[in-house]
Every structure is written in C-alpha cells, then in structure tokens.
Chains A and B, each alone.
Chain A
Amino acid sequence: MTESYETIQYDVLVIGAGGAGLRAATEAAAQGARTGLVSKSLLGKAHTVMAEGGLAAAMGNVDSRDNWKVHFRDTMRGGKMVNNWKMAHIHAMEAPDRVKELEEWGAVFDRTADGRILQRPFGGHQYPRLVHVGDRTGLEMIRTLQNHSIHQGFGIHTECVITHLLKDGDRLAGAFGYWRTSGKFVLFQAKAVVLATGGVGRVFNFTSNSWECTGDGHALAMRAGAEIIDMEFIQFHPTGMVWPPSVRGVLVTEGVRGEGGVLLNSQGERFMFRYIPEMFAADVASTPEEASRWLAGDSTARRPPELLTRDVVARAIRSEVDQGRGSPHGGAFLNIASQRTPDYIRRKLPSMYHQFMKLANLDITKEPMEVHPTCHYIMGGMRVDAETAHSRVPGLFGAGEVTGGMHGANRLGGNSLSDLLVFGRRAGLHAAQFAAGQNGFAAIDPKQIETAQQESLIPFHQAAQGEKTENPYQLLADLRTMMEARAGIWRTQEGLEKGLQELNTLKERASHLSVAGGRAYNPAWNYAVDLHNMLLVAEAIMVSALHREESRGGHTRVDFPTSSSDLEKVTTVVNLKDGGLAWKKEARPTMPDELKELLK
C-alpha cells in the first residue's frame, strides 16, 4: 500500500546544493527552465563551504607566463595522464570566465598590489594560479552563489533526501525522497535531473568530508543504469589533523605549503627531497636552498617538493611514519612558523590559526602542526559527456565530484572549485536544453514509488517483526574501519579480496538495520537509508581497485608498485547488472596531436 506523498514538478531538478548544484540551477533557470534545487542540509552548508586553499584558473595575474595550455598540462600530469582530456581541456579554457562571473556576483578575492585578483602557488600548478580568500575560499564561493541564486527564481528545497531516481523505460522521470524535518515522502517529477551530490569520503574512517558525503549520487546513478568510472582513484589529502582524536582527519589546507610550509620527520629532516618522482624532477627544487629562493620570490628557482601533487606527498608522509620516523601521534610535522612571520600567517591562514588554537591548543605561528593523510576526494564517478555533462541515461546529467574523468588518477588542489563552476554551468545549460526538447513529463510508475517507500521504511519494522536488529551507527563505524584498512592509501590484492568478503557480511547485516523513534528528524533512520548507498560505493571502490594492477595517482597497490603503460590506456567502468556489480576495462580515447603537443 502506498502512503500519500507531495508532488512537485520541474523542467530541471538539481540534486545537491554545493558549488556545482548552485551553479547548475542558476544556469538552468537562466535558460528559462522551471528549475528546482534539492539540498540534504540547509542552504550554504554543503561540503563546498569547507574548501580552503582556492580556485584554479589560469588568469596570469601573478605570473604572466600562465595560460590555459599550462593549466591543461598541469591537470593531465597531476592526473597521471588518465584524465578525460576533453574535460581537462574545457576546464582549463573556461575557468577564468567563471571566476570573473563570481566577482560580478559579489565574491571579494584577495588582491594583487595593482588591485587585480591575487593568485597563490599550489601543489602541481606550475605558476601561482589559485584565486583565493585567505584560507576560506569555499565559503566565499558558496555564499556568493547562494546569495546570487536566491534571486534567480528557482525553487529551493532544503533538508530533503533523494532516495530513488524513477524511470519510464530508458528515460528519467523524476526523483523520490523524504523531508528530513517531517520524514514525509515527496516526488519530484522532472524532465531532466542534474546530480550534484558531491563525494563519498564518509566511507573512510579518517576523512575531511562532512556527514553528507555518503556517495548518494554515485549510488543513484548506478541504480538508474548509468556507468561509473575510475572508482579506484581516491585522493588522500596529505595533511589532515592528527591530534587530538576528536579532530583526526580534519583538513589542514594545502595553502600552508603554498605559503611556504615545510614537512619534517621526527629527525628534523625535510624528507620530501627524497620523494621527487622522475616525471616532476625537472620542475622541482633539488635543494632546500633553491626552495628558499623560490619562497623569497626568485622566479628562476623551482618550487619546493612540498608542493608536489597530493598523491606523492601523502605517500611520502605515510612512508615516513611506517618507517618509524613519524611525529608523536603518528604523522609528520608541518612547519610554517619557521618560514613566515606570525602576522603573515594570521593574515593568510586565519582559519588554520583559529582551528589549531581552538581544537588543539596549538599556536601555528610558534609551533609545527602534526599532519597525516586523510580521505578528501574521489576522482571517480558517473561517466558524462565532456561537452554536455549528459550521462548515458537520457535526461540524467551530472557535475562536480559525483562525476568521473576530469581529474584522472589524482586531482590538483584548486581544480575542484573551478570544476564545480565550469561543469555546473554546462550541466545546467544542457539539462535545460534537454528538458525543452521533451514533450511533457515522463510517466510515473506507481510500482516504483511503492518499492521506494517500502525500502526506505524497512528499518522501522524490523524490531516488531522479531528480526535480528543492527544499529546503523555501529554498522557505519564498522564499514569505515574496514575501508580504511582494506582500501586506504596502501592496497593489496589480498587485502581487497578480504575487504570484499567483509563487505558481504556488512551487506547482510545492513538488511537487518533497525531504528527506533519517529520519522521526523531521526538521524538513525537517515543513516540507515544512506548506508545502502555507502555499501554500494564501497564495493565499487574495492572492485575497481582490485582490477587495476598498478599504482597510479590516488591508487597505490603495494603488490604492483609501479605504473603500467598498458593500463594508462584503459578506464575501469562499473555498473549494476542483474542486481550485481559488473566491471570492465575500456580503452581510453586517444588525444588529438595538438593537445599531445602541450604535454611535452
């Protein structure tokens, strides 16, 4: 029996209200589409708000040698050459325009001496490229988009969770979910849907991600028949907080290293000089003396090795810890106090100063921080067309972290905020065009709604039916511990196979999830619903990791420590087939010669 529910109709429905979702909805509305935006949290709280260091766009304000070609090259090399080169190309070309637009909408970025937008150095970027506001760039971006978008005439629905995408044959028909405040169900009928749901970081124990990052969009896409690519590539950000335990995993911005911060082991050694990969040796300072000249502004000096790409720095820190040269709480020391004056540090890294003072009783203008890698980002996600952001499911679009390809095997810092804007805009534009070409709404199948309701409500009935019961908080904790151990920075065939077996046990337990209380604002129920997404995403990560027998970017196989030139040519694709997860390897399209030229 179906419970009554509210129905809301839109031409374009955008799911997720971070940077990508807000930009997509703004564009769809500008195209004249009746547009709605759904957010799991309140407006302005999405994970974009936590981005710190900046937004990468080759404007050349600080070093005029910079341009989109260099940005494209850096992005591909940072992604270890397996990026969707069409996306990397579009991204590098369009990012500066998206920055200018944000400025017109009210963003106030830090300035150069002549009053233009200031750009800061960042890992893997050849020139100073990150447009920023101290170390709270994401806040500036989301608030600017939020305050602009509330005047664009689209509907905004907050604290609403989408649990199911509905289809009519091959075509997308809408989305079904519930309001968190009441627990009541809601149907959004839509001609096109944009997924902008962000990442999956909460499947790992130590993560910089907020509670929302449960892979909802990745799972919705798979269940709707879309293909997911590159799920083995997870970014462990090199610098998460280590101590106290309460804040383990909280992000320490790469801006600390961008502003000159150095990494030291317990012996006081600046160890990154020992971890410079061949591929980047020509671009990186070979001595601390050269790195100091770079920090002093000598444009002939090369960047310090602390600014190597995130995958390289994360592995280096973990290796130092594994070899017994870690800090007291099992990390590395990150020291900015020795490089900059207290005044400068407080001005350029105010929220880091505040965060360590408040949460760790530590003054970063005087003492080094302790840092360890923390799960930060997933490069993999729904496969979309580079130009239109359209998946292979008609009417299903995507933008931002929920999509795959743009960042290859490792994302450069700053390329996420620009990605959200560039592809958010494109997704909104093409979803609106797609919707305009549709003849009315697709039919809603009542059977699908009945199933959706039943699936969501199972946790309320377990106990009464005398079933064995599982606590969602416990299952979540166990999943996260398992993923950290089996699919973290170091991976092996044996570990991943064990992990997949352990996952089967967790899946079985998930069928007994049980919650008490009512449906209104019940976090146990919310987790019980989200957990099914997290389990599916965890499986996709481990299956993809098991079948890529090499190390590349954010995927390190201890049993296959080097990169394989053969595997550089393929993408791992997973999808749901007959209820199970299927995987295949697919040849990557070849890059045209004019782009290949840029990589030399």
Chain B
Amino acid sequence: MSGNHEQMGKTVKVRVFRGEGGQGALKEHDVPVTPGMVVLDAVHHIQAADSGDLAARWNCKAGKCGSCAAEVNGKPKLMCMTRMDTLPQDQPVTIEPLQTFPHLRDLVTDVSWNFQVNKTIPPLNPKPREADGTYRMAQMDIDRVQEFHKCIECFLCQDVCHILRNHKAEDFAGPRFLVRNAALCMHPLDTEDRLPDLKDKFNLGYCNITKCCTEVCPEEIHITDNAIIPLKERLAGRFYDPLAALGRVLKGD
C-alpha cells in the first residue's frame, strides 16, 4: 500500500459534468484524498458535501454490477474500480458521462438501446437431456463460454466502439452482444443456428477488429480474439468460403 499515506490531508481537483440532455458544463470541486480512494468515492463526497442532486448510477461499488460506467479523463472506466492514485496527480480529474448513449442528466445516460438489442437475440435452445436426466459438459468445453459470462454489462465496450460511437450504426449489435452471441454459439447445449442473424441482423461484418473494446473491458474478456474473430471465421466458413459454397450448391442446400 505504498504511497497512500503520503496522500493524507491532500485534496485533488475533480471536475464533474453537470447538465441535462447533453447541455451542460464541467463543475470543479476540491475533494479530500483518502487512502485507496476510487473515483466513485469522489463522486459520493461531492454529493454529500454540496451537490446532493448530482446524478450518478452505482450499485455494488465492487466491480460486480457494471452500473458506474463513466469517462474518467476521457477514458471509459468503472468509477468504483478506478483508484485516484492511478490517475495523474498534478492535474484535475475529469468525470463525464458515457458519450455514445443519449445523455439524461449529469453522469447518467440512457442505455436502454442495449437492452433492446439483447431482446432480439434468440434465447438458448437446449438439446434434450441425457437418459439419466443430466446434461454432461466437459469443463474444457465451457471455459470459453464462462469467460464470456463474466460480462457485467457495464457497456464500456459499446461506449468505446467507433461503429456505435462515431457512426451511430444502430444495426450493429456492438461488442457486448457479439460476446453474448458467441457465448450462445459456443454453448455445448445450444441447437440454434445463429450465423444468419450474425451476418444480416447484427452485422458482425462492420467490426474491423480495432480491439478498443477488449482494451476497456473491466472483466478482461478477450472480446476481439476469443469472441469476435472466431465468429467472423465461422461466418466466413459458411458464407464466403468458395469450396463450402460449391458444396452447398451440390448438396442442394
């Protein structure tokens, strides 16, 4: 815990975006620094001290629920997992709402679009149980699915994805829901053919694997390498492989 004690008694300048519907400005506060303090602690301090109505989402304050996503010094982060002592100490800390989603108030944005996309993904369609009533799955066959299930739906990957952020491509599912599709595609029990949807409904092809999503994932899911690229390979194998296409023609598929 080196370094913490030196900070005692110090204050840091914290600038928080205040406003509604995208209109507003940064407001600066002096916040006392305590050992191990995270950005969400600074927000709570500001609320209790003089800005009771500062709007911010949070729930668990332990990196498990993904509610407190924001842009700290311009980078998408969970406020509860970002320690103040990992940020440059000689300049103010800036906290802004996620930029990709419609702004509601202060640090809160309207993320409902994500929930709408999720609803368009067909649920697991499981194969029948074994004769003894169980489902048998080898641990090694589910390791990858379990990696994807670590997702806490903070939507930082959606926020940083340039296809959503800059191009506002609402017909693109975004990294979060490509990961969810990958989890279903690789689920040993699933019987659904998900590739046509990935191609035409979720527009997997829009992704040009810049890996920005992987970089911001607080759960360290290898979104690009383990989810998106394998899905792209499956898609290519099905729809763009000339030999496979010839095979389908011959088989009359």
Contact = CB atoms under 8 A, between A and B. Distances in A.
Interface string B212-249: 00000000100000000000000000000000000000
A115 B126 contact: no
B48 A147 contact: no
Interface string A101-127: 001111010110011110000000000
A582 interface: no
Contacts of A518: 53
Interface residues of B, number: 61
Interface of A: 41-47, 49-50, 100, 103-106, 108, 110-111, 114-117, 133-134, 136, 138-140, 143, 147-148, 150-151, 181, 210-212, 243-247, 250-251, 350-351, 354-355, 358-361, 471-474, 477, 515-518, 520-525
B36 A111 contact: no
Contacts of A104: 124, 126
B1 interface: yes
B65 interface: yes
Contacts of A210: 59-61, 65
A246 B37 contact: yes
B61 A523 contact: no
Given A111-B142, A246-B36, A355 B48 contact: no
B136 A108 contact: no
A44 B114 CA distance: 12
Contacts of A43: 115
B83 interface: yes
A105 B123 CA distance: 8
B64 A49 contact: yes
9 contacts: A42-B115, A49-B152, A108-B146, A181-B110, A244-B4, A246-B36, A351-B63, A358-B63, A358-B83
A108 B189 CA distance: 10
B75 interface: no
Contacts of B165: none
B52 A472 contact: yes
Nearest to B153: A44
A570 B164 CA distance: 60
A375 to B, nearest CB: 14
Nearest to A110: B139
Q: 9 closest pairs, A vs B, by CB?
A: A244-B36, A524-B52, A517-B53, A115-B136, A473-B48, A521-B55, A106-B124, A210-B59, A522-B53
Interface in B160-214: 180, 184, 187
Contact of B59 (A100, A103, A212, A472): A212
B250 interface: no
Interface string B91-109: 0000000000000111010
Contacts of A471: 48, 52
B36 A108 contact: no
B105 A147 contact: no
B57 to A, nearest CB: 7
Contacts of B55: 520-523
Given A41-B59, A103-B135, A111-B137, A524 B35 contact: no
A253 to B, nearest CB: 11
Nearest to B84: A246
B1 to A, nearest CB: 6
A472 B48 CA distance: 8
Contacts of B115: 42-43, 150
B145 A108 contact: yes
Nearest to A149: B123
B4 to A, nearest CB: 7
B35 A108 contact: no
B67 interface: yes
A523 B54 contact: yes
